[in-house]
């Protein structure tokens, strides 16, 4: 029986393990954190019934890879799709952000609304993403939708998402967000963590090994043709193949013998970090029922997400849960500020949305930060993506940096994890 090692027990690593175990391979998963889940992991306050994601997540009705896996697991009925209200904050008011009839209420001129509808529909139904990657989102949107629409809707989102690099992001990335997404947003009974825990339980139940709080330090090819994983606690394990679901920087550290074009591709990949402050409030903040509020760059964060305007607050002990989320460069000051200082900077903006808000509404707060959270795809990015098979025989890599043109997310983590497992099985056979 061939033995496969998988570094990272997020959605990609767990999905790969699920398929490899099913095909009869021996699998060992190594996860540095104390729980499975990766960027989709959750946490639970003692008063809550359900887990809450550390970084806001939801699925779409078009997420066929995720839904297919859930079907195979026998848990598809636990996924449900409410339709929450998503909005823009424009000139001090909230407007629905859906590309639907609600767009008629946006503070745009008639020609602006026409161009938004026309080119929004074009993006929704076009399938040629390769053509879009030859231009930047900045250039394409400004030219087609015009300065009014671009400056009010899209430029603030691009700047908020990618900072100073916003004019470098290619249009295929933007196309994918419009083309594949649905108005209904899905989750799992009990939260994403419950789904990922169930996936891990099924893997272990079929014979897989899962080592939590186990950090891998190196991957070395031995003279006998095996690969050896060394962990921080001094353990060494010989394996027939290894799949890493890490960041490109960590892969370079784990496998320093990677060289040539592949190494250059890894080194040239760029990404943005994520910073989130979560507040458990005693009262509802966005009283109009908005779940997701996109903000202009005048605010200290990009998105205000009131989770309990999407799911019932009874699942969370009656707390009204609000995310203040931002994407920033890994060297941004938000990664250096203390949790208290960052929280104070964020909550100073909240009375703008509800004048009744005061700090004594806050029952508890949490801060989560991840330096590798959002790939930055530039013009003709498809030519820059490293393959799943690395130059080191038996070593594979599957990450959010490779799901392009699609945006990072659980569905595409499942897809690339299962695709990597297929490559491993083909090569070992």
All structural domains of the chain with their residue ranges: 3-80+190-268+385-428, 99-180, 271-375
pLDDT surpassing 90 at residue 346: yes
Q: Would you state the pLDDT for residue 417?
A: 98
Q: Pick the residue with more confidence: 100 or 427?
A: 427
Q: pLDDT, tens digit, for every residue of 172-181?
A: 999 999 998 8
Reported as a single tens digit per residue, the pLDDT across 393-405 is 999 999 999 999 9
Q: Does position 370 have pLDDT exceeding 80, yes or no?
A: yes
Residue 313 clears pLDDT 70, i.e. is over it: yes
CATH architecture of 99-180: Orthogonal Bundle (1.10)
| Overall fold of domain 3-80+190-268+385-428 | FAD/NAD(P)-binding domain (3.50.50)
Residue 300: is its pLDDT beyond 90? Answer: yes
What would the pLDDT profile of 233-289 be if each residue is shown by its tens digit?
A: 999 999 999 999 999 999 999 999 999 999 999 999 999 999 999 999 999 999 999
Kindly report, residue by residue over 41-89, the tens digit of the pLDDT: 999 999 999 999 999 999 999 999 999 999 999 999 999 999 999 999 9
pLDDT digits over 23-41, tens only? 999 999 999 999 999 999 9
Query: What is the predicted pLDDT for the residue at 102?
Result: 66
Q: Assess whether pLDDT exceeds 90 at residue 100.
A: no
pLDDT score of 103 more than 90:
no
| Confidence at residue 105, expressed as pLDDT on a 0 to 100 scale | 86
pLDDT in tens, 127-136: 999 999 999 9
- What's the chain look like in SS3? CCEEEEECCEHHHHHHHHHHHHCCCEEEEECCCCCCEHHHCEECCCCCCCCEECCCCCEECCCHHHHHHHHHHCCHHHEECCCCEEEEEECCEEEECCCCHHHHHCCCCHHHHHHHHHHHHHHHHCCCHHHHCCCEHHHHHHHHHHHHHHHHHHHHHHHHHHHHHHHHCEHHHHHHHHHHCCCCEEEECCCHHHHHHHHHHHHHHCCCEEECCCCEEEEEECCCCCEEEEECCCCEEEECEEEECCCHHHHHHHCCCCCHHHHHHHHHCCEEEEEEEEEEECCCCCCCCEEEEECCCCCCCCEEEEHHHCCCHHHHCCCEEEEEEEEECCCCHHHCCCHHHHHHHHHCCHHHCCCCCCHHHEEEEEEEEEEEEEECCCCCHHHHCCCCECCCCCEEECCHHHCCCCCCCHHHHHHHHHHHHHHHHHHHC
pLDDT at 101: 66
271-375 has which fold?
A: Polyamine Oxidase; Chain A, domain 2 (3.90.660)
């Amino acid at each position: 029986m061939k033995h496969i090692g998988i570094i990272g027990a997020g959605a990609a690593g767990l999905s790969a393990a699920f398929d490899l175990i099913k095909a009869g391979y021996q699998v060992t998963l190594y996860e540095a954190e104390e729980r499975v889940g990766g960027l989709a992991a959750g946490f639970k306050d003692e008063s809550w019934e359900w887990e809450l994601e550390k970084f806001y997540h939801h699925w779409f009705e078009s997420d066929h890879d995720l839904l297919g896996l859930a079907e195979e697991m026998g848990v598809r009925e636990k996924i449900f799709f409410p339709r929450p209200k998503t909005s823009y904050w424009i000139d001090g008011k909230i407007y629905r952000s859906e590309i639907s009839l609600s767009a008629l209420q946006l503070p745009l001129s008639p020609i602006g609304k026409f161009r938004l509808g026309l080119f929004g529909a074009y993006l929704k139904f076009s399938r040629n993403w390769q053509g879009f990657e030859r231009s930047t989102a900045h250039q394409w949107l400004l030219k087609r939708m015009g300065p009014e629409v671009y400056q009010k809707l899209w430029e603030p989102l691009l700047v908020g998402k990618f900072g100073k690099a916003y004019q470098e992001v290619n249009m295929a990335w933007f196309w994918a967000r419009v083309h594949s997404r649905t108005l209904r947003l899905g989750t799992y009974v009990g939260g994403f963590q419950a789904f990922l825990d169930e996936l891990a339980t099924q893997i272990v139940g079929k014979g897989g090994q899962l080592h939590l709080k186990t950090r891998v330090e190196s991957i070395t090819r031995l003279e006998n043709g095996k690969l050896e994983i060394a962990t921080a606690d001094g353990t060494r394990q010989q394996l027939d193949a290894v799949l890493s679901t890490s960041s490109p920087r960590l892969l370079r550290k784990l496998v320093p013998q990677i060289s040539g074009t592949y190494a250059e591709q890894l080194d040239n990949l760029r990404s943005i970090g994520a910073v989130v402050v979560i507040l458990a409030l005693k009262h509802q903040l966005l009283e109009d029922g908005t779940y997701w509020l996109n903000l202009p760059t005048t605010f200290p964060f990009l998105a205000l997400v009131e989770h309990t305007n999407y799911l019932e607050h009874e699942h969370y002990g009656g707390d009204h849960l609000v995310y203040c989320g931002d994407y920033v460069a890994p060297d941004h000051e938000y990664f250096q500020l203390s949790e208290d200082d960052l929280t104070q900077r964020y909550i100073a903006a909240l009375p703008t949305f509800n004048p009744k808000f005061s700090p004594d509404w806050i029952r508890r707060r949490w801060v989560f930060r991840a330096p590798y959270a959002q790939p930055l795809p530039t013009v003709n990015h498809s030519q820059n993506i490293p393959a799943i098979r690395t130059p080191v025989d038996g070593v594979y890599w599957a990450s959010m940096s490779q799901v392009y043109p699609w945006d990072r997310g659980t569905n595409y983590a499942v897809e690339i994890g299962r695709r990597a497992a297929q490559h491993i099985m083909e090569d070992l056979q």
